[in-house]
Chain A
């Protein structure tokens, strides 16, 4: 294992979904440490290193998997803050949601989301989707913190 593997933040309020997502990531052999936050507020705390995460280690995560429907602060708001903050906007954010609503798609892309994945009902399809995500965003994609991004 490479020690410098960055963390993946999973913002998801539903415990079943957390378990399914974690299972899917595991199935796909994603080695990055997964930090699960249960709502938008906690996700922002983690990213800004405040409150419960004030003294956490490590820098920005390699990837944020963001559910849209969450208590307190929803995914859209988290996305808006991340993408409007110069310190955070380099972090790839993938919206991972049940919704197929057009309005959500439009809004998230307007805010600068990096990918939008509808969670299929069928679990096998879901695993395939996560596999693609994990492979591309967490492993392959390089973020500017390690130098200029390579296409």
Chain B
């Protein structure tokens, strides 16, 4: 693994060694500064001590030398030669005095003089000349010493000098201390120049190179470094001690002063501070180099340690970032056994889990995307293939998306439809209502059953019925339109048909009423003449019967019979008519009981005929009892009637149920019928046999059919000539019937 990312300021890898280095550097710097200060301070102290020592030594030296000088002069002043000169001035005494004084002279120094009591020079002895050098000029005594002793340094023509004066008394030297002076004879005066190159060399060697030695008055008025005049050091020189000052050239100087006893003088020894502290600087420099090396080493070490710690962390970070970015499965080295190694191992475990979860998530996302894609394709498919016109319209009044049904219905291309506001396609008469509907949609209401006309490309208009739903927060509406032009057209046709139908119904009602009136008048008016025919025929028979012959009476009887039969036909027809209008009272009817009832009633009319009844179990049905009785009576009496030619009539009654209906059949072994006329069986006044063969009006089966139809059932028959007939009728099984059971 390589980590090519440039270390940023936030990287631990850089910051850790940096912090450590800075810390070490700071500590070192502090330590160095403190050490430097300590060393410097120690050096300064030592320098000070050294200067003080030198100053003290010099002071002592000077004290000794000046005291010696003063003592020499005083001894000379008390010498007998000098005394003799003053007491008896003569050439001899002068020569003796001059001789005596010569011992006081020093080459290169001014003369030693003898002054009288009035302080007038009377004698001067000059020291031997220094070869190659002129004798020093005599300096004027500007301020002659007022009393014996040493004077302060004085300056004249840049030459520093000091004077010493000793009194010459008339007392012998032995008596000097015991008796006070009785008279002053004169003075011994000595002036010495201080400046001397050799002196400064000597002192320089004494004190050490680099040192500056200065001597001056304690008052600070005259100071010299033994070669030239210098200003007094700007320190307190009236006492012994070390002091430091900043010179005019900016350099700091360290020095010490010492008072020269017995004189008003002081000595000052100083070193440039830089010289004193030079070792400290050298120490500092060395220590700095060492420190820098140390810091550098520490930095390298810290970098190494940091790298050792942060590299795996960096690896972890990198791997974690990679995982976070989802680029690849990153693992880290886990060879180490320390915390970082454990962290790496834990990270790897986590990475595996993360990767596993990620893979699972990705799979699920992929699956979901595939599902969505599929759903989208399905939707698109439905959208495209829908017969209804589906669209997405914006609230800006334009279509956004349309399915192909639009182009198919209206003839416009998809682009044409989307290029103009949809209102432009709406029939001018429908625009106002369309705007109202659009505003309802804009208010978030769903619009259904809205109808308007849209222009086709050929200039015609199609009626569209809309269902539109607003999409909240998206400025869209979803709308489905259906071309209802055909409906509209058929609607008007249906309305016309309905009108016709209603007219027909009212006509039918009128007809029905007429029929009612007709049957009413039939029952009254058609029967009356028949009654009259039979009545008057009967009266004729009674009054003229005996007079008529057999043929006349038979004809009269025929008239009566025909009228009677006519009456029966009319009665049957009225019953049939009533069957169509009578109200059905549906209820539970026990078919078995009903069949048994009818059979018992018919027994009386059998006239001794042999009938074999085979009646199967029959269910309870839901029907109108009285009319169902008529059905069974008709079918059963027909069975008996048409099997009259058989020695024994065999009549079977049974039931075949289906889940939807109950089918009842009545079978006989009678004359049967030709199936090709089966359709005529149930017609009014339709008969397949002559009245001579089997009496009847031909209305019975018509009634059966009418009643069964009114129950919602069917009737049919099967049979063959001479082989019996089976009549079926069905009754629907309604939920009510089931429940009644």
Contacts and interface: CB of A to CB of B under 8 A. Distances in A.
B525 A123 contact: no
B520 A99 contact: yes
B523 A100 contact: yes
Contacts of A123: 531, 534-535, 537-539, 560
Contacts of B539: 20, 23, 123
Interface stretch (B140-148, B214-222, B441-449, B563-571): B563-571
B574 interface: yes
Interface stretch (A46-54, A57-65, A114-122): A114-122
A121 B534 contact: yes
Given A23-B539, A126-B535, A14 B571 contact: no
A23 B535 CA distance: 10
Interface residues of B, number: 24
A27 B98 CA distance: 239
A80 interface: no
Interface in A22-57: 23
Contact of A124 (B530, B532, B538, B563): B538
B703 to A, nearest CB: 16
A98 B524 contact: yes
Contacts of A68: 524
Contacts of A120: 531
B121 interface: no
A69 interface: yes
Interface in B315-331: none
A101 B518 CA distance: 12
B524 A121 contact: no
B538 A97 contact: no
B556 to A, nearest CB: 12
A85 interface: no
A4 interface: no
Given A23-B539, A98-B523, A100-B571, A17 B528 contact: yes
B281 interface: no
Interface in B530-586: 530-532, 534-539, 560, 563-564, 566-568, 571, 574, 578
A92 B638 CA distance: 43
A101 B528 CA distance: 14
Contacts of A23: 535, 539
A110 interface: no
A99 B534 contact: no
A102 B525 contact: no
B252 interface: no
B641 interface: no
Contacts of A121: 527, 530-531, 534, 563-564, 566-568
B563 A69 contact: no
B520 A16 contact: no
Interface in B593-612: none
Contact of A98 (B528, B538, B568): B528
A78 B560 CA distance: 33
A97 B523 CA distance: 10
A106 to B, nearest CB: 13
A120 B567 CA distance: 9
Contacts of B528: 14, 16-17, 98
A119 B571 contact: no
Interface in A60-100: 68-69, 97-100
A23 B536 CA distance: 10
Nearest to B582: A102
B520 A101 contact: yes
Max chain B C-beta neighbours (<10 A), residue from A68, A97, A121: A121
Nearest to A21: B535
B578 A16 contact: no
A99 B571 CA distance: 10
A122 to B, nearest CB: 5
Which residue, of B525, B530, B538, B568, has the highest number of chain A Cβ atoms within 10 A?
A: B538
Given A16-B536, A121-B564, A98 B527 contact: yes
**In this complex, which of B528, B566, B568 has the most chain A Cβ atoms within 10 angstroms of its Cβ?**
B528
B524 A20 contact: no
Contact of B564 (A20, A97, A122): A122
A20 B536 CA distance: 8
Given A20-B531, A121-B527, A100 B574 contact: yes
A101 B524 CA distance: 9
Contacts of B571: 100
Nearest to A119: B531
Contact of B534 (A17, A100, A101, A122): A122
Contact of B524 (A99, A122, A126): A99
A102 to B, nearest CB: 7
B578 A102 contact: yes
A129 B281 CA distance: 172
A68 B525 CA distance: 11
A1 B625 CA distance: 53
A35 B574 CA distance: 33
Nearest to A20: B535
B522 to A, nearest CB: 10
B738 to A, nearest CB: 33
Contacts of A14: 528
A10 B224 CA distance: 197
Interface string B375-388: 00000000000000
Nearest to A15: B532
Contacts of B568: 121
Contacts of B535: 16, 20, 23, 123, 126
Nearest to B561: A122
A35 to B, nearest CB: 21
A123 B574 CA distance: 21
A97 B530 CA distance: 13
A78 B19 CA distance: 136
Given A16-B536, A100-B571, A121-B563, A126 B523 contact: no
Contacts of B520: 99, 101
Interface string A118-151: 0111111010000000000000000000000000
Contacts of A69: 524-525
A99 B523 contact: yes
B558 to A, nearest CB: 14
B531 A17 contact: yes
Nearest to B534: A123
Interface string B464-498: 00000000000000000000000000000000000
A120 B523 CA distance: 12
Nearest to A102: B578
B578 A126 contact: no
B561 to A, nearest CB: 10
A120 B571 CA distance: 11
A97 B528 CA distance: 9
Contacts of A99: 520, 523-524
Which of A16, A119, A123, A126 has the most B CB atoms < 10 Å from its CB? A123
A131 to B, nearest CB: 14
Contact of B525 (A16, A98, A124): A98
A99 B525 CA distance: 9
Contacts of B523: 98-101
A26 to B, nearest CB: 11
Residue with the highest number of chain B CB atoms closer than 10 Å, among A23, A100, A124: A100
B149 to A, nearest CB: 188
Nearest to A100: B523
B18 to A, nearest CB: 123
Most buried by A among B527, B535, B537, B567: B535
Contacts of B574: 100
6 contacts: A23-B539, A69-B524, A119-B531, A122-B564, A123-B531, A123-B560
Given A97-B524, A99-B524, 10 more contacts: A98-B527, A98-B531, A99-B520, A100-B574, A119-B531, A122-B534, A123-B531, A123-B534, A123-B538, A124-B538
Interface of A: 14, 16-17, 20, 23, 68-69, 97-102, 119-124, 126
The 3 closest A-B pairs by CB, nearest first: A121-B567, A123-B538, A123-B535
